């Protein structure tokens, strides 16, 4: 029975692929996946797909992938219907409110918040009882306060380089994130044996390299 796995393109791709190779349940995907979006590992009966990180939960929820790897940030934003089964202990970053230094000290009413994570931002400010206007962007969010599109942003910080280079600072931390393994609900029943084996092997690697 073949197992389909959705891996995130971009900065988490190498760690995700290395994890499967270290676990001994996939071979040569790193070499092949740079050319193709789908790579078959016939020996191990696995199929790997490379998709946009934001799309991983969609593939898994619909069963187009049995398993997926994506950040906790994306899971909290999308709240898709799938199981989160393992913290993979890479892709560490923080979800923060950031802005120019002045934004930290000013108490604006009806603040504008630019973000790729509208649900997380909405929920965060609602819990604080702050009325804000959420402005949804698809990237380069740090630009928004610089050109007056918003007063602050809600975004991911990893090294802090992007904030620094754009003259922004962290105003508040919302939560810490890392890569997670997610599973399609039906697959966990129909392919139970194989999926459980994979989870155990990945867990061993995660615990060894922690």
Catalog residues that contact ligand PRP under the rule CB under 6 A: 139-142, 155-162
Using the minimum distance from each CB to ligand PRP, give the nearer residue, 94 or 104.
94
β-pairing, 38-41 vs 46-51, is antiparallel
Per DSSP, the residues of 67-101 read: EEEEEHHHHHHH--SSEEEEE-S-S-EEEEEEE-H
In 3-state terms, the chain is what percent helix, strand and coil (to 5)?
Answer: 40, 30, 30
CB-side exposure of 170: number of CA atoms within 13 Å?
Answer: 16
* Nearest-approach distance from CB 138 to ligand PRP, in angstroms: 7
CA distance 122 to 130: 10
Using the minimum distance from each CB to ligand PRP, give the nearer residue, 163 or 195.
163
Using the minimum distance from each CB to ligand PRP, give the nearer residue, 100 or 160.
160
Using the minimum distance from each CB to ligand PRP, give the nearer residue, 133 or 158.
158
Using the minimum distance from each CB to ligand PRP, give the nearer residue, 8 or 25.
8
* Nearest-approach distance from CB 91 to ligand PRP, in angstroms: 11
Q: Is residue 155 within 8 Å of residue 142, measured between CB atoms?
A: yes
The closest residue (CB) to ligand PRP is 139
* Nearest-approach distance from CB 197 to ligand PRP, in angstroms: 33
Helix (H) or strand (E) holding 169, with range, is: strand 169-177
């Amino acid at each position: 029975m073949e197992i389909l796995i959705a891996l995130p393109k971009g900065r988490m791709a190498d760690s995700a692929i290395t994890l499967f190779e270290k676990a001994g349940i996939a071979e040569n995907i790193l070499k092949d996946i740079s050319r193709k979006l789908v790579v078959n590992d016939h020996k191990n009966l696995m199929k790997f797909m490379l998709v946009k990180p934001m799309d991983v939960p969609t593939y898994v929820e619909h069963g187009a992938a049995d398993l997926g790897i994506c950040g906790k940030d994306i899971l909290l934003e999308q709240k898709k219907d799938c199981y989160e089964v393992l913290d993979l202990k890479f892709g560490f970053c923080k979800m923060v409110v950031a802005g120019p230094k002045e934004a930290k000290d000013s108490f604006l009413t009806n603040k504008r918040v630019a973000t790729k994570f509208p649900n997380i931002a909405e929920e965060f400010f609602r819990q604080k009882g702050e009325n804000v206007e959420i402005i949804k962007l698809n990237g380069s969010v740090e630009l928004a306060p610089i050109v007056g599109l918003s007063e602050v942003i809600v975004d991911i910080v990893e090294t802090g380089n992007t904030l620094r280079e754009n003259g922004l600072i962290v105003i508040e931390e919302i939560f810490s994130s890392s890569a997670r393994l997610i599973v399609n609900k039906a697959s966990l029943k129909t392919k139970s044996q194989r999926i459980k084996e994979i989870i155990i092997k990945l867990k061993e690697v995660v615990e060894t390299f922690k």
